[in-house]
Chain A
């Protein structure tokens, strides 16, 4: 009996607040927009019994999905989200790898402090970290003032409200997610392997390329997915740092829901986003599982 309660309580909670809501999204994505409260049709009418249920299912259709494929805006938003997420993941890897590498090579007494310094921003408010770039990247912001002062540029660069600012924002906020798994992989590495490679005539660069990179592969893969997956559905960064022409699907969904109040289309946008996300999530899970098996 006790065991039953132990299983039932979290099970029912997640069922009611995770699975059922998602089923509702799926259902509304098949409905039509209507001028009523709630603003969609058909409504399930259980008072009419079986006939009501039948009538309800008869009215569901894929119209919203057809609409998504016809309207350029959504198509472009999905493509540009994928593109922005992909480019920023690569940039994060390029910025994060040297940091993780430096941490793994650091003297032992330094490591705990360095690790703390990477984790600290993670506990700091995401919103504030994104906001901190607004003052830096604006036309009369800190970066432009600095560049004008050094004489590198003569007119301020327009960075805020462009895609460049979105890239900077994603790299900045997700950097710890990239550093930590790579650091974990590099830290486990046996240093004598590098010495062996050098003894066998490898230059340090070749040894790095042939030994260090392959051994940190699992960390690189994990880090890339940990950045790519949340970046794809990102809302805060494109809406604060991006411009009106920055198309990201999280922002489109938000606007469709709050500004246009088109719930059926917003739901269809959400369903498609999830379908796109399933591929990287499954790949990520596989990588994790392989890693666990290798550790055992």
Chain B
């Protein structure tokens, strides 16, 4: 039985205090009655009220959610295809270029991705708006999906697919009935990653959005450039709450399903 040594306990406490204190302070001050964000003037939820009446924030939030759902869904399909090609595709012309194009966007600075896509959209005369943001987000997040899914594809037994093919499945059925259920957890986490990346992105969206569409990060950025504001604190608190609930639920669910799987395997081992 291991215990925390005093050194480890101190470094963990200080480390997590550093990671969490800024967000905790932000949450506390979102309930501040004063407009001066640094002076505490009693508890109040008025900023949540003003936030919910602010149409420009609500519109921006709606645009962001639409973009995130569309781009993460397309990115999941394309990214899973890309992962399959990388891991199971064998040799084909341009394979090196293909894997390069999958990995390069992961390390590409956002300013460059944004700039290059904007120049493309202008070059081909595409009107900028929600559609172009979706295209841009899909392109960089499909690469993240590919990486997540391909790491799962590498680790699973290829002979399962081959068995399905031997038993008369078509290639598509083998994928649908055997491969997909096995890689499903990776596909789902890929989708979640793509969704969060899209929700979060400021730089690429700013380049590709044009004047007709404003996402929530663009709206927040233009507000916080002028300084700290209580409405933004309230908005941040709501976003932090949603993410926290989401991540904790997801981790409980995965823990439960892995426990259930363990139990199944033990039961199977007993009966055989």
Residues of A with Cβ closer than 8 Å to B?
2-3, 6-7, 9-11, 13-15, 17-22, 24-25, 28, 38, 95-96, 98-99, 101-103, 105-108, 112, 114, 116-121, 123-129, 131-136, 138, 140-142, 145, 172, 175, 229-230, 232-233, 235-236, 239-240, 250, 253-254, 257, 263, 266-267, 270, 273-274, 277, 281, 284
Q: Does B178 lie at the interface of the complex (its beta carbon under 8 Å from any beta carbon of A)?
A: no
User: A128 contacts which of B38, B122, B236 (Cβ < 8 Å)?
Assistant: B236
- Chain A residue contacts of B84, Cβ below 8 A: 6
Q: Does B41 lie at the interface of the complex (its beta carbon under 8 Å from any beta carbon of A)?
A: no
**Quick check: B12 and A103 within 8 Å, CB to CB?**
yes
Starting from the known contacts A24-B120, A127-B221, 19 additional A-B residue pairs (CB-CB under 8 Å) come to: A3-B89, A10-B79, A11-B85, A11-B98, A13-B139, A95-B18, A106-B2, A108-B2, A124-B239, A125-B243, A127-B224, A135-B25, A136-B22, A141-B38, A142-B38, A230-B109, A235-B203, A257-B207, A274-B109
- Chain B residue contacts of A120, Cβ below 8 A: 243-244, 247
A245 to chain B, nearest CB (A): 17
- Chain A residue contacts of B199, Cβ below 8 A: 125
Q: Does B211 lie at the interface of the complex (its beta carbon under 8 Å from any beta carbon of A)?
A: no
Supposing A2-B172, A18-B104, A116-B247 touch, asked if A125 and B112 sit within 8 A by C-beta, the answer is no
Q: Does B177 lie at the interface of the complex (its beta carbon under 8 Å from any beta carbon of A)?
A: no
**Quick check: B220 and A28 within 8 Å, CB to CB?**
no
B93 to chain A, nearest CB (A): 10
**Quick check: B109 and A232 within 8 Å, CB to CB?**
yes
Closest B residue to A40 by beta carbon equals: B119
Supposing A9-B78, A233-B110 touch, asked if A135 and B228 sit within 8 A by C-beta, the answer is yes
Q: Does B169 lie at the interface of the complex (its beta carbon under 8 Å from any beta carbon of A)?
A: no
- Chain B residue contacts of A124, Cβ below 8 A: 23, 239-240, 243-244
**Quick check: B107 and A277 within 8 Å, CB to CB?**
yes
A20 to chain B, nearest CB (A): 6
Q: Does B19 lie at the interface of the complex (its beta carbon under 8 Å from any beta carbon of A)?
A: yes
Supposing A128-B239, A145-B38 touch, asked if A95 and B120 sit within 8 A by C-beta, the answer is no
A175 CA to B225 CA, complexed, in Å: 24
A218 to chain B, nearest CB (A): 17
**Quick check: B25 and A240 within 8 Å, CB to CB?**
no
A234 CA to B84 CA, complexed, in Å: 32
A72 CA to B135 CA, complexed, in Å: 37
Supposing A21-B117, A135-B29, A229-B107 touch, asked if A10 and B142 sit within 8 A by C-beta, the answer is yes
- Chain A residue contacts of B29, Cβ below 8 A: 135
Supposing A6-B89, A121-B19 touch, asked if A114 and B12 sit within 8 A by C-beta, the answer is yes
A292 to chain B, nearest CB (A): 10
- 8 Å CB contacts to A: which residues of B22-59? 22-23, 25-26, 29, 37-38
- Chain B residue contacts of A270, Cβ below 8 A: 111-112, 115-116
A-B pairs with beta carbons under 8 Å apart, 26 shown: A2-B171, A10-B142, A13-B139, A13-B142, A14-B82, A17-B138, A19-B101, A21-B116, A21-B120, A22-B116, A24-B123, A99-B12, A99-B15, A103-B12, A106-B8, A108-B2, A124-B244, A127-B217, A128-B23, A131-B220, A135-B228, A140-B38, A235-B110, A235-B111, A257-B115, A266-B115
